[in-house]
Structure 1
């Protein structure tokens, strides 16, 4: 069954090219919002907590702090409203899913920068 699903995804789903990123990276995601008959672009800047799935079903979760409240948002990589992804910083973390990041506050919530090769 899997080869059939992969064939359909490759053939019929339009792919967008985005930069490679992983957990701990700081991203700015630009996506389109429709309000009535108007559309506008909104951005969401935060740290990637997890990247899940492969191919067309890939999703990533971004967390940002809005005042004292943590806000998380899950973006599917093939979402039609997704316009652009910018990698602002590369972070060095030792885990693929950094759920522990939710409990950290202040200086503890800093992620070290990864070396640029």
Structure 2
């Protein structure tokens, strides 16, 4: 095992629920604007997951005001407050 694998393992989150493409999730994202911070919820359908380990990402799609919006999140990002399977 490489030394970078140990560093990556320390950064992995353990509070991520199991979800697959096709599942509906609510992603609670911490948004920092200047000195203020707030939680923004992005709810949609998971359309894909890719990579593994610290580099793992997932893409969520929703329709907002009749416009499709896709957003890709790193699974282990500290910006994500929590993920809830809806």
Q: TM-score, normalised to structure 2's length?
A: 0.91
- Name the structure 2 match of 1:106: none
Larger Rg: 1
Judging by fraction of residues, say which structure has more strand: 2
Task: Give the drift of 1:7.
Answer: 2.5
How far apart are residue 16 of structure 1 and its match?
3.8
Q: Using CA pairs below 8 Å that are at least 6 residues apart, which structure has the higher relative contact order?
A: 2
State the SS of the aligned residue for 1:19: coil
Q: Which of 21, 24, 27 is equivalent to 1:23?
A: 21
Residues 30 and 38 of structure 2 are in contact (CA less than 8 Å); yes or no, is this contact kept in structure 1? yes
Does 2:41 align with 1:43? yes
Q: Unaligned 5+ residue runs, structure 1?
A: 89-117
Higher helix share: 1
Q: Which runs of 5+ in 2 are unaligned?
A: none
Over aligned residues, Cα RMSD in angstroms?
1.2
TM-score normalized by the length of structure 1: 0.68
Which residue of structure 2 aligns with residue 102 of structure 1?
none
Count of residue pairs brought into register by the alignment: 85
Deviation at 1:14, TM superposition (A): 4.8
Q: Which residue of 2 aligns with 1:9?
A: 8
